[in-house]
Amino acid sequence: MSLKTPKLTVVGAGPGDVELITLKGIKAIESADVVLYDALINEDLLKYASANAELIFVGKRKGCYAFQQEQINELIVSKAKEKGHVVRLKGGDPFVFGRGAEEIDYVRQFGLETYVVPGISSSIAVPAYQGIPLTKRGASESFWVITGTTKAHQLSDDVAIAAKSTATIVILMGMSKLDEIVQIFSAENKQDTPIAIIQEGTTENEKVGFGTIETIVKVVEEKQLTNPAIIVIGDVVKKRVQLASIYKEVNKL
């Protein structure tokens, strides 16, 4: 057992662009004895870890889990007691559909110190990189962020409630439910509502499709859009501002 204090820091890695992580997040990675990281993080962030740190992939790829959540919980505890500081590195923000709170609740039973470093959520950053403001005067007074797939692998009931509003709707993990989403909005006579689908947002592999509720399924087929992607629905999609290329221009600053 390590002489170091067993502790867990849950760190939000941001939406994909390696530079969209906080300084506090970088410092946590640098001080980690063990880093447990998910599939959606930018693995360039692991370069900040100490040469002596143990790096363990615990994410999901193509429907296959490297670890079940219960195993991850147990691994955090065992590694913290063995080595000291465990950093749990999660895509986006760990408290936005990231199970960060669940992991903290579990490990506190075993006496671990626990900390959280917020991250920039893809629900906000990905539309922003495409010039889509989630709120804008005259277009949207609020926005919803909804999971497309619940624990029961069903579309959240909140989508149907949100479809009745004038708010901007951001749906994460919803590509497999796109047909169902389109049906719900069509039932509210919103066939002409603008919609954007952004795959691998804020990364060099970013792909985007724009359309309306009526046309978006065809757009997705034509552009071969798939997960990981977010769905943005609302008038703000047509309020895009023109941006310079993120990768060519921002890196010059």
CA angle 118, 249, 40 (to 5 degrees): 35
Strand residues in the chain grouped as ranges (E):
7-12, 34-37, 54-57, 60-61, 64-65, 85-90, 113-117, 143-147, 168-172, 194-199, 207-212, 229-233
User: Which of 7, 27, 60, 223 is the catalytic position?
Assistant: 60
User: Which of 17, 90, 93, 173 is the catalytic position?
Assistant: 173
Distances (CA, A) of 132 to 138, 186, 243: 14, 23, 10
User: Which of 38, 83, 90, 190 is the catalytic position?
Assistant: 38
Note whether 28 and 11 are within 8 A (CB).
yes
CA 174 to chain centre: 12
The question of whether 44 is a catalytic residue gets the answer no
Note whether 86 and 34 are within 8 A (CB).
yes
The question of whether 33 is a catalytic residue gets the answer no
The question of whether 173 is a catalytic residue gets the answer yes
Which residues are identified as catalytic?
38, 60, 173
